[in-house]
Amino acid sequence: MITSDFYHIIDKELEVLLERYKNNVFVQKHKKNLNNQKSYAFLMWFVNFYGKLSNYSDYITEGNDDSSCDIVFDLKDNQGKKVFYIVQSKWNNARKAEAEVERDEILKALSEFETLMAGEKEKINDTLKAQLKLLLEHLRDNGEVKFIFLSLSQYKGGADDNIRTFLKNDPKRSFEVIDINRIRNDYIDRNYKDINPINPLESQYNPEESPIKIRLAGNANFIKIEKPFDAYTVLVRPRMIYELFEKYNFLLFYKNVRNPLLQSQFNEEIEYTISKNPAFFWYYNNGITAITYDLPTIGQQAENIEVMGLQVINGAQTVYSIYHAYKNASPGKRRRLDQDALITLRLLRTGGRDFDINVTRYTNSQNPVRDSDFFANDDIQLTLQNASYITPVWYRKRRGEFRVLPEGIRSVSNEVFADIYLAYHLGNPVALFRKYQIEIARNKNMCFISANRNNGSEGGLYEKIFNEDTTYEDMLSAFYVTDTILKQADKRIDEIAYSFFYWLALSKITITKYLQAKYSDKIKVNRQIIQLYEKGETEFIIRAFGFTLGMQTTVFNDDESMREQHMSKMLDNSSYFENMKEEFDKAFEADDIESMPINRAVMAIKLLGTK
């Protein structure tokens, strides 16, 4: 979903809001000023999307000539503390959606915020005057305030130094820029993954670092395990689970290989049981497993305990389903739930990363977890996925995370990307072939086995593929090349012969030479591949790959009797393959590729074998 397309999605939603509230006093007053109207609608959209206020119009102040509009309001955080929010929205036209937020816009907002904080703003309306009075009382009570600059442009950090200065002298201040990229990521989470994004209108408290109180369902209802690591199995009530999720939300599941889906048949079944047959819940549900850094000794009379840090590593669906059912229950129904329903909670003291991962792996065995699932929360996986959102191909870092996709968008798993990237961009099909051999023997995806974690695993390729040099642009170009070839071959990637990846690696040499000769040796080749593919121009890939296949007799010295021996060496001998790449590079010029008839290239591709 490119930025301009996403901009138009939001802009249409703003127009819907303006039509719905066309009789609003502010909308009527600025009927001839589209900038102010859209900034007002943008604030309405922001508040609606993050779902914290319904009477937003009571807090929105007059817009200025620079098409900005402010809102001042207060909310209680999940610790019960009041926080004031001051939000300035900056609507802009579609042309500026691709541009960077101007530094001067941030500086102007910071100056405006300082003026508001000092109570020195002149010519203010009654709405703002009333809110500022409450704000100043809040500040005198040592309260916290958060400033949000909301923009439909892209913020790239140009005013970070000024923001740090603004925050430096007052620890009770915080500041966040919500730009079009952040909005797009949250919009995708909500609408296409069915998960709630982190809310900028909520203070986030990390459950991994917080003391957490757990209320037990009566005393002496626990089992204790002491060796090799301390652990308890306790019983809790639905209210306990509800309050835990209400306070920490999806941060409870940061170390879980799956976040709960907001809607699924599995969730509906859990909700049905807890709501309709609460006394049966303990019998039907496996419960919840969580790890903690500090597990206290539980006495026989204990009804409340406190642990330091908590992560739910199995049972995310159970937690969310109980939360949802309890939230929607009437007060009388809640009392019945707490009286009849019991939930098993296993509390384990962390035994270090290896132990925690293994517990996660085995407790999820009833719904098998892939090796790639254990890396879904890595920063690099999140970075690659976020980068993919400006393209028509979304990077899928965990199975089933996209419940629906917008028209014109497809998703591709990180497992597929890893294989293609390793072969094409990194030019290492030998490692890929060895990966397949290990997978057959061990049922492991070595692209998602670490050589550095879990005490190091022989053959682990994760760090070779995913590191500081890995970019989505390089991955996407490798995918576009592969996708073009597989379409011509009319084959899926999981049914193509392993030798394909060797010709794919060699085709990078062919494609690079061809494009540099056609355009310039200064071009960014992968970017050029992406641009041409997305314009529907793929003949260069077909021609170059067909030419690569046609070079078999040349690189193998035209000796068919030796071809199988060469191929065998090429499959499993890195040095042999590297030498062959050098020979291949020397064997042709870019002009030779142009002379390859496209129909012959297509025929060569169609003859690619299957596994």
Mean pLDDT of 482-507: 90
Q: Assess contact for 148 and 68: CB atoms under 8 A.
A: no
Residue 555: pLDDT band (50, 70, 90) is: low
Residue 281: pLDDT band (50, 70, 90) is: very high
Tens of pLDDT, residue by residue over 531-551, are 999 999 999 999 999 999 888
β-strands 304-308, 211-215 pairing: antiparallel
Asked if pLDDT for residue 258 goes beyond 70, the answer is: no
Q: What angle do CA 58, 59, 61 make, to 5 degrees?
A: 110
Asked if pLDDT for residue 559 goes beyond 70, the answer is: no
Written as six digits, the tokens of 184 are: 């797009």
**Which one, of 102, 197, 85, lies nearest residue 152 by Cα?**
102
Ranking 21-35, 51-65, 225-239, 260-274 by mean pLDDT, the lowest is: 51-65
Tens of pLDDT, residue by residue over 116-139, are 777 666 666 677 777 788 888 888
410 Cβ neighbours under 8 A, 6+ residues apart: 392, 393, 394
Asked if pLDDT for residue 66 goes beyond 80, the answer is: no
pTM score? 0.78
Percent of the chain with pLDDT over 90: 31
Asked if pLDDT for residue 424 goes beyond 70, the answer is: yes
- Only one residue has tokens 């009527």, namely 28
Domain ranges for the chain, please list them: 3-192, 211-369, 378-606
Mean pLDDT of 383-406: 91
H helices, E strands: number in the chain = 26, 13
Q: What angle do CA 468, 313, 290 make, to 5 degrees?
A: 130
**Measured distance CA(433)–CA(419) in Å, rounded:** 10
**Measured distance CA(105)–CA(158) in Å, rounded:** 11
- Residue 586: alpha-carbon gap to chain centroid: 43
Per-residue pLDDT, 469: 95
**Measured distance CA(183)–CA(446) in Å, rounded:** 35
Ranking 49-53, 109-113, 244-248, 591-595 by mean pLDDT, the lowest is: 49-53
Residue 67: pLDDT band (50, 70, 90) is: very low
Per-residue pLDDT, 516: 93
558 Cβ neighbours under 8 A, 6+ residues apart: none
Q: Which helix (H) or strand (E) holds 541?
A: helix 539-550
573 Cβ neighbours under 8 A, 6+ residues apart: 430
**Which one, of 420, 605, 596, lies nearest residue 514 by Cα?**
596
Asked if pLDDT for residue 63 goes beyond 60, the answer is: no
Residue 343: pLDDT band (50, 70, 90) is: very high
Q: Tell me the backbone φ, ψ of residue 71, rounded to 5 degrees.
A: -145, 140
Extended beta strands in 293-409, E state: 304-308, 311-314, 343-349, 393-396
433 Cβ neighbours under 8 A, 6+ residues apart: 498, 501, 571, 572
- Only one residue has tokens 């209400």, namely 246
Percent of the chain with pLDDT over 70: 84
**Which one, of 190, 191, 303, 311, lies nearest residue 248 by Cα?**
311
Residue 189: pLDDT band (50, 70, 90) is: confident
| Burial tier of 370 (Cβ tally within 10 Å: 0-12, 13-18, 19+) | middle
Written as six digits, the tokens of 316 are: 């995310």
What's 96's DSSP letter? Answer: G
Mean pLDDT of 172-183: 91
Q: Which helix (H) or strand (E) holds 228?
A: none
CATH T-level topology, domain 3-192: Restriction Endonuclease (3.40.91)
Residue 367: pLDDT band (50, 70, 90) is: low
